[in-house]
Structure 1
Amino acid sequence: MPRIETPWGPWEAAPLHAVVALFQNLAAPWWVSGGYAIELAVGRSFREHEDVDITVLRRDQLAVRAVLADWDVHAADPPGRLRPWPIDEPLPAHVHDIWVREHPGGPWRFQLMLEETDGDEWVYRRDARIRRPLASVGIAAEGFLRLTPEIQLLFKAKGTRPKDELDFEQVLPHLTPEQAAWLREALATEHGRHPWQARLGS
C-alpha cells in the first residue's frame, strides 16, 4: 500500500483482510466499500488502492466504536477537520466520515462511512428520495459483504476523479441490467443529467 501524506498525518492503508478480520467481531451489518467494492465486483485487481473503506449504519455507530475501543478514532467534524471520537459519543447527523489508526501519531489505516436508514430501508444520504431495502445493498464475498457496485458508483458519480472513471469503466460490463437501470434512475434523481447515463444503456 502506498504511503500518502495528508494535512492530518500520513495515510498507510491496512491490508483489506486485516480490516475484514477486525469487523468480524461487529454484531451489526457492515460492508466493504470504496474501490475494493468495485474491484471485488470486477473479480480482479486493476488499480492500486490508497485506502480501505468500510460502510456501517449510523444506528449502529456506538457498537462500531466499541469494536474499535483500542484504536485512535477521529470524526470529520466539521468536514475538512478531524477531532477525536470518544467511545460513548453519538456523532452529529452531519458527520459521516471517520478515520481510524492504531495509535496517535501513527498512520491512518482505514476509513468508516456512516449510512442512513429508515426502518428496513437504506437511505442515500445525499438525496433521501433514493432508497432501497437494506437487505439489497450488499453482495456476499468471501466471509463478508461488499457494497453493491451500483450503489458505490452512485457515490463516485459526484465530481468524478480519474480513479472513479476507471472504476466505472471496469465494472460497467459486470453490471446486470437491473443494476444498470437502478443506477441510471438514481443518477437522474440526484443529478438530472450525468455523463454515465448514456453508457448505462436504456
Structure 2
Amino acid sequence: MRSIVAPYGRWEPATPAQVASLLSALPCRWWVAGGYAIELAAGRRLRDHGDIDVMLLRPDQIHLHGVLRGWEHWAADPPGVLRPWEPAETLPQAVHDVWCRPGPDEPWRIQIMLDETRDGDWLSRRDPGIRRPLPEIGEISPEGVPYLAPEIQLFYKAKQPRPKDETDFAAVLPFLTQVQRRWLNEALAHSFGTHPWRDQLAC
C-alpha cells in the first residue's frame, strides 16, 4: 500500500473494497467519490491516489462515529485547519471534510465529504441550483461498491481542473450515456457558462 505524506500526517488510503467493508453497517446511503469514483465508472485503474473520498449526506454524519468506532475523526475547519471532531458535536455547515484514521499513530485512511440534501434531493454544496433526486446520484460497481455518478463527480472537478482531473474526464467520457453527458453539460452551463469540457460533451 502506498504511503503519502500530508501536512497533518501520512496517508495510506483504504481501497474501495476496504471502505465498503468498514462502512457496511452504516444505516444510510454513502458513495465512494473523487478519483476512485471515476475509476469505478471506467472499470479500470487510471492513476495513483493521495486519499480516498467518501460522500455522506450531512444529516447522516451522526452515524459515522458509531460505525468507525475507536477511530479518530478530524474536521477540516475553513480554511483547512484540522481539529478533533467529538461524537457529541454536530458539524457546522461550513465543514465539508472529515479525515479518519484508526488511531493517533496510524495513517489517515478515509476522507468523508459532507454534501447537502433537501426534500429528497442531493444539492451541490458549490451551487445549490444543481440538484438531483437521491436515487439518481450513485451507481453500484460489479463488486457491490456504491460510488458517486461520474457526471456529478466531474461537475465537482470542473471548477479548476488539474491535470489529474483532465485525465479523469478523458478516461470516463466514453462511458457516459447521452443522459449523463446532457446533465453535465447543462450543469456546467448553469454554474460556469462557458467551459472547455462542454464542446467534448456535445460530440
Fold-level match, TM-score > 0.5? yes
8 Å CA contact 1:74, 1:83 repeated in 2: yes
Write out per-residue CA displacement over residues 113-156 of structure 1, whole angstroms, 9 at most, x where no aligned residue: 00100021110110000001011001122223111000000011
Residue 94 (structure 1) aligns with: 94
- The aligned amino acid for 2:154 is L
Q: Which residue of 2 aligns with 1:76?
A: 76
Aligned counterparts of 1:50 and 1:2: Cα–Cα separation in 2: 9
Identity of aligned residues (%): 52
1:149 corresponding residue in structure 2:
150
Question: Contact 2:74–2:85 (CA<8 Å) still a contact in 1?
Answer: yes
* Alignment length (residue pairs): 202
- Name 1:108's counterpart in structure 2: 108
Q: Output the CA distance in 2 between the equivalents of 1:131 and 1:15.
A: 28
Partner of 1:199: 200
Aligned amino acid, residue 201 of structure 2: L
| Alignment-derived partner of residue 10 in structure 1 | 10
Any stretches of 5+ residues in structure 1 without a counterpart?
A: none
Give the CA RMSD over aligned residues: 1.2
Moved more, 163-172 or 7-16: 7-16
SS at 1:46 equivalent:
coil
Cα deviation code 1:14-48 (max 9, x no counterpart): 23221110110100000111111101111111212
In 2, the alpha carbon distance for the partners of 1:171 and 1:17 equals: 20
Matches within 5 A, 1:1-202: 1-141=1-141, 142-201=143-202
Give SS of 1:35's match. helix
Post-superposition Cα deviations, 1:54-104, rounded to whole Å, max 9, x if no partner, equal 111101111123212310110001232100010121000010111011111
Runs (4+) off by over 2 Å: none
Query: For structure 2, which runs of at least 5 residues remain unmatched after alignment?
Result: none
**Separation in 2, partners of 1:111, 1:132:** 23
Partner-residue secondary structure (3-state), 1:76: strand
Distance 2:107 2:63 in 1: 24
SS of structure 2 residue aligned to 1:179: helix
Corresponding letter in the other structure for 2:162: R
**Whole-angstrom CA distance in 2 between matches of 1:115 and 1:26:** 16
* Cα distance in 1, alignment partners of residues 189 and 154 from structure 2: 13
TM-score (normalised: structure 1)? 0.96
The question of whether the paired residues in 1 share the 8 Å contact of 2:17 and 2:145 is answered with: no
Q: Is the 8 A contact 1:37 1:147 kept in 2?
A: yes
Moved more, 86-95 or 140-149: 140-149
Describe the superposition over 1:159-183 as per-residue Cα deviations: whole angstroms up to 9, x where unpaired: 1111110000000011000100000
Instruction: State the distance in 2 between where 1:72 and 1:174 align.
Output: 37
